[in-house]
Chains A and B, each alone.
Chain A
Amino acid sequence: ELKVEQNPLFLSMQEGKNYTIYCNYSTTSDRLYWYRQDPGKSLESLFVLLSNGAVKQEGRLMASLDTKARLSTLHITAAVHDLSATYFCAVDNPSGTYKYIFGTGTRLKVLA
């Protein structure tokens, strides 16, 4: 059974600080996705990582993928309040059925 685990589940950090969210998954997959969700809203796609070693950056967020370690990281640089949200990672099922399995999410709160 494919499982996706994120840690931490909750993260409270000061503005200006750096931090990393980790996403581990249990079986082989070459594709990993990061989403952002604001309270009461839908999910917004942040990054699609399609191969081992992929790195993508937008603003203060940078995501990377290590398929051999089955690990993706979402690094936050110099956090600002606007980054407060819940972040989800997901992988798609390696059997080719194109089912997406999500982690339970990391709730990030950036304190001024």
Chain B
Amino acid sequence: DAGITQSPRHKVTETGTPVTLRCHQTENHRYMYWYRQDPGHGLRLIHYSYGVKDTDKGEVSDGYSVSRSKTEDFLLTLESATSSQTSVYFCAISDLATSYEQYFGPGTRLTVT
């Protein structure tokens, strides 16, 4: 299994509070992604990174920011959590130099009350 961890794995927070989710990889892969998964929507890309300090928006980026200060860590921040951001969040990595395949982390279940 690809070395990807996410923390926390579960979180309950209140509306209006900031939340940061962490993705950590040990594979030295260049590309990292944050997705959210909701019933009926499959996986939707929030943000992705193509290198240290290089990030770009996905299809559902409003209300989210990301940072990548080193290869192994990709942080997703909900600046002011809303109930619509209740979801399961997955991090993924890929290394397009060797394979186009994506490897997924275990997921973080976030509930905003």
Chain B residues near A (Cβ < 8 Å):
31, 33, 35, 40-45, 48, 50, 56, 58-59, 90, 92, 94, 96, 99-107
Contacts and interface: CB of A to CB of B under 8 A. Distances in A.
Contacts of B35: 102
> Main secondary structure on chain B at its contact with chain A?
strand
A11 B105 CA distance: 27
A15 B74 CA distance: 42
A92 B100 CA distance: 9
B100 A104 contact: no
A101 interface: yes
Leading 7 A-B pairs by shortest Cβ distance: A104-B42, A102-B43, A102-B42, A43-B104, A42-B104, A105-B42, A48-B101
Q: Please classify how large the interface on chain A is, using the bins under 10, 10 to 19, 20 to 34, 35 or more.
A: 20 to 34
Contacts of B56: 97, 99
Interface in A41-56: 41-45, 48, 50
B37 to A, nearest CB: 9
Contacts of A88: 42-43
Interface of A: 31, 33, 41-45, 48, 50, 88, 90, 92, 97-105
Contacts, number: 53
Nearest to B56: A97
19 contacts: A31-B100, A41-B107, A42-B90, A42-B106, A44-B104, A45-B101, A48-B101, A50-B100, A88-B42, A90-B43, A97-B56, A98-B48, A98-B50, A99-B56, A99-B58, A102-B35, A102-B43, A104-B40, A105-B42
A92 B101 CA distance: 10
A42 B103 CA distance: 10
